[in-house]
Amino acid sequence: MSQRTEVLFLALLLSACAAPPEGATFRGGPVAPDRFGLVILRDGEVPPALTAEQRSEAFAEHFGFIEASARRQELLLSGPFGQPKDVDDMRGLFVFDASEEEEIAALGAGDPTTRMGIFRQDAMTLDTLDLLRQLPEMVRDHASRRVRSRDAGPEVVSYTVLFAEDGPTALTALGSSLFAERVVLLGRLGAPRGGELFGILDVADPEEVRARLAAAGFDVTGVELARWYATPVLREFARPGDGGVAGESPAPSR
């Protein structure tokens, strides 16, 4: 997603104005703001005592839940966290096509590993762009291209996930820290993290993000960063003129 589109949109979003830049498009269609559900998976407070076989079965059911929810297009995006990460108990995240807190929590509660106590969940709303609903079709297209071309490229890649308490200031810092064309997705979180900025950056090393934010003069003490793994299709959101979001009158690149 280009800086000119994403930064302008989030500036409006974070000031409670619900309109993307005039003429913003993605894959030939209009772009609009919408509300989704974000669920963060964390270690259970009292993880159950499981044998290796029981744990393997539990995670097989966990992945089955992910696949079934994705087929129903309830689950739009998911992936595990890896190291490094600022909050050690974060294990993964789900983004659901749901806008009410109760519905988001109910969808997340369908995860077998959560029901067993392996994980617990933080569920909240996520205000971002409606292009997320195109992800399931984009993933299917990507899989078909891989089969046709016998592509041996990676099925998952590394990103950096960002949570920033001071959303507007973090947004400004992102726009001035050489990440203009590496912002995949930005959004505003609801309770219990109300007003925080949520971001996905096409940067494999979270420490690179931290260093660049600090170099831009941003106080990184209010920022949580983590490496996160997901489909490479997400990178299409960050490519203006190559399927990514574009404004009607793009500004020249610097």
- Residue 68 domain-assigned (yes or no): yes
What's the rounded Cα separation, in Å, for the pair 183 and 145? Answer: 24
- Which tokens go with 7? 């930064």
Q: What is the pTM of this model?
A: 0.84
What's the rounded Cα separation, in Å, for the pair 194 and 187? Answer: 11
Q: Which amino acid is at 128?
A: T
> The domain that contains 230 carries what CATH number?
3.30.70.1060
- Residue 131 domain-assigned (yes or no): yes
- Residue 252 domain-assigned (yes or no): no
Return the beta strands (E) in the chain as ranges. 25-26, 29-30, 33-43, 75-85, 90-96, 119-129, 157-164, 183-189, 197-201, 223-230
Q: How many structural domains is the chain composed of?
A: 1
Mean pLDDT of the chain: 82
Question: What is the 3-state secondary structure of 156-206?
Answer: CEEEEEEEECCHHHHHHHHHCCCCCCCEEEEEEECCCCCCCEEEEECCCCH
Residue-number span of the structural domain to which 117 is assigned: 3-45+54-238
Q: How confident is the model at residue 152 (pLDDT cuts 50, 70, 90)?
A: low
Report residue 176 CA to chain centroid gap.
21
Q: The dihedral of CA 136, 138, 143, 144: what is its sign?
A: positive
Least confident span in 118-127, 191-200, 233-242: 233-242
Measure the CA dihedral 171/173/179/182, to 10°: -20
Q: What's the whole-number mean pLDDT along residues 145-163?
A: 84
Least confident span in 99-103, 109-113, 169-173, 233-237: 169-173
